[in-house]
Structure 1
Amino acid sequence: MDERRATVLRAVVESFIESAQPVGSAAVLEMTRLDVSPATVRNDLAALEADGYLAQPHTSAGRVPTEAGYRCFVDGLGPGSLDSAEVQQVRAFFAHAQGQISELLSDTSRLLSDLTEYAAMVVAHSHDRDTIRSAQLVDLGGGRLLVVLVMSSGAVERTYVDVYSSPEMVAAAQGPATGAASAVLHEALTGRARSRRLDVRATGDAATDALVDAALSALAADEPATGDLYVGGTAKITGQFEAVSSLRSVLSVLEEQLMVVTLLRSLVDRGLSVAIGSETGMQPLAECSVVVAPYEVDGETVGSVSLLGPTRMDYPKALAAVHTVSRRLSASLGDGDGAPAAASAARSAED
């Protein structure tokens, strides 16, 4: 389309996002200050409607954007940015973030929702693509053992080891063999892919080898999950949809973790930063848009942060928030070497 019609379309989208009301030619002229007559703008609106970018709810009403109109608008957006207060809010959050990876991701979803007033979702992809950064066998007392794996994504896996089946195993777990087995596991597993079958060469010490074998068996039985989902600000979208049925459909999707994780992973793999309506591939989200960005550790995508809102969402703000938070989260997860996370995980299990 020519530059003037692109300006008219942008004005309609921006006005509808702000007001949720159909936009007429007078409003377009006031917003754009185009040096043309109202009749010319009306002709442009009609042409944009004929091309599928706008729709008219009923005769004599103004126009509203279609999916194609939103897509054209989004494709023409620049990178966008948060205001200085919001940037400081994000910096302060990650400067003081601490605790388990699950707590960080859950808090990050709430931060993103607070910035935008949309529902926010943070996904930690399953660990089958990760490598092991640190492995530790922890004696919890009373013959209870825990394997703690810190992954390259910063995620921590905890797997309990069953040593109750044999008095000899219980005795080994309470002796120095636990420390030796922990050292063997750390040396043998660090840098290996979690998805591979984990095996370790025998040391020749019966007690140590028995504990190592028990730990490996427990890890083999504890398959990595599809992915963890953290949702923040669900209540914030309740006022964003006029039809109760639409809201009910959206909330039902958010309750299905596997469905959401699969959707977001698909969008990231397809290289989409914004999916509008039918582009999500999910009928319950036909009136929604999703803005998503991956976060990385050591250059590898390990999850995603995203926003879910109505198709008339504030795309510039949403894109700026998602990309700012994803970059900060990547930097935060890439700082540590894994040891503090393992120690924290062990203390949590002991509690």
Structure 2
Amino acid sequence: MVEDRRLAVLRAIVEDYVRTEEPVGSRAVVERHGLNVSPATVRNDMAALEEEGLIAQPHTSAGRVPTDKGYRMFVDRLTTLKPMSGAERRAISTFLDGAVDLDDVVQRSVRLLSQLTRQVAVVQYPTLTRSTVRHVELVTLTPTRLLVVLILSTGRVEQRVVELSRSELPDADALAGGGGPEVSAGDEPARVVDAVVADLRPRLLGAVVGKRIAEAGAALADLPAAVPDASRTLVRRVAEVLGEAMSDHHADERIAVGGAANLARYGDSFDSAVRPLLEALEEHVVLLKLLGEATAGGAVTVRIGTEGPYHQLASTSVVATGYGPAEAPATLGIVGPTRMDYPGTMVAVRSVARYVSRILDDA
């Protein structure tokens, strides 16, 4: 009974301090939280909590504030997280469903997270080196211009234009009767290119679809040798451009950051952490280490104050979780002061991650 009451007192102190940014006194706890005990009893409980290092008294005769250890106890003892309302869920769904590609999904997610939590939001791009090729499309724009569209399992869509010189166009006379695309001697260049593209399209799909980026790149290198000499130059150019589209995303450290302006609302009380945090926002490696590693569909992780990897960011907390396809997991979350609404922030992070994962799965 005493233990439960002390936890209730701790919870009251955390909630009030997060809301008011003022040290919390015993009388305020009694009046605001209906504990049905006297202020003297609450003072005794506060003394016990202070002895355990869960709260501290910043000034003589002042109320108490939570310590990092107190926040940790508060988070660990959360039995349930209040779900978002139907209206909030619909708003998230509507906002994210409008995204047109992975870049748009990430940018929308980071804006949404920063707005929901009023913190700095960080979204890591999916680990593209472990993603697979979902589809490739090849479209003839003109006889000398081809459009290559690459779609990855992460939902990322890349478009590249292949520019061909007249000398690189396949020769109809050389192709005619050669066992390759169905063309006739003397056919117009547009007719010949269309035939070569129609022959190449299933070859491309068979070579790369379902394979990881590295494997697909190796398969592309072998593709020109499988076509007639007369169309080999065109096929080689398409393979090169498609390979470049894949290799552009071998780096796994791309992130998006939003909501830095939210730091301004903490003013002097957060001054000791604002500068190092602003500097950290410029270092993507630092932010990735702050987020830590999370598995898509996994639990929300909370790192409070000194639990983080950087002592200069000891006044901040990180709430993060994984999202995206299992073969290319990534992490999203927020970075803010230890004095934050942990339950609300955890719900927002979890909800956004689930919606983003659903969008990428359906892409």
Q: Which residue of 1 aligns with 2:305?
A: 277
1:86 aligns with 2:106: no
On the 8 A contact 2:322/2:330 being kept in 1, the answer is yes
Give the C-alpha shift of residue 145 in structure 1: 5.5
Give the C-alpha shift of residue 272 in structure 1: 5.3
2: CA distance between counterparts of 1:159 and 1:126? 21
Q: For structure 2, list consecutive stretches of 5 or more residues without a partner in the other structure.
A: 172-188
2: CA distance between counterparts of 1:170 and 1:76? 69
Deviations 1:204-258 (A, max 9, x none): 3225444444454552654512243222222122212524342121122122223
1:246 aligns with 2:273: yes
Q: Which residue of 1 aligns with 2:204?
A: 185
* TM-score (norm: length of structure 1): 0.82
Letter in 2 for 1:309: G
Percentage of identical aligned residues? 37
On the 8 A contact 1:181/1:211 being kept in 2, the answer is no
Letter in 2 for 1:278: T
On the 8 A contact 1:268/1:292 being kept in 2, the answer is no
Relative to structure 1, is the Cα distance of residues 88 and 143 closer, same or farther in structure 2, using a 3 angstrom cutoff? same
Give the C-alpha shift of residue 72 in structure 1: 1.0
1:203 aligns with 2:202: no
2: CA distance between counterparts of 1:162 and 1:261? 38
> In structure 2, the residue corresponding to 1:291 is in which secondary structure?
strand
2: CA distance between counterparts of 1:160 and 1:329? 29
On the 8 A contact 1:86/1:115 being kept in 2, the answer is no
Q: Which moved more, 1:255-264 or 1:59-68?
A: 255-264
Letter in 2 for 1:81: P
> In structure 2, the residue corresponding to 1:238 is in which secondary structure?
helix
Deviations 1:89-108 (A, max 9, x none): 1132234x132221122122
1:288 aligns with 2:311: no
Q: Which has the larger radius of gyration?
A: 2
On the 8 A contact 1:295/1:303 being kept in 2, the answer is yes
1: CA distance between counterparts of 2:257 and 2:310? 18
1: CA distance between counterparts of 2:143 and 2:69? 64
State how 1:8-27 maps to structure 2 within 5 Å.
8-27=9-28
2: CA distance between counterparts of 1:224 and 1:59? 56
On the 8 A contact 2:95/2:108 being kept in 1, the answer is no
2: CA distance between counterparts of 1:229 and 1:307? 13
On the 8 A contact 1:80/1:320 being kept in 2, the answer is yes
Deviations 1:124-169 (A, max 9, x none): 12301111101234556685656432111111245666867xx744
Letter in 1 for 2:288: V
2: CA distance between counterparts of 1:171 and 1:235? 56
Relative to structure 1, is the Cα distance of residues 278 and 125 closer, same or farther in structure 2, using a 3 angstrom cutoff? farther
Letter in 1 for 2:151: V
Q: Which residue of 1 aligns with 2:175?
A: none
Q: Which residue of 2 aligns with 1:34?
A: 35
Q: Which residue of 1 aligns with 2:184?
A: none
State how 1:285-324 maps to structure 2 within 5 Å.
285-297=313-325, 299-300=326-327, 302-324=329-351
Relative to structure 1, is the Cα distance of residues 162 and 250 closer, same or farther in structure 2, using a 3 angstrom cutoff? farther
Deviations 1:34-88 (A, max 9, x none): 3333222222112111212112212222111111111111112213222343223
> In structure 2, the residue corresponding to 1:292 is in which secondary structure?
strand
* TM-score (norm: length of structure 2): 0.80
Q: How much is the aligned-residue C-alpha RMSD, in angstroms?
A: 2.9
Q: Which residue of 2 aligns with 1:263?
A: 290
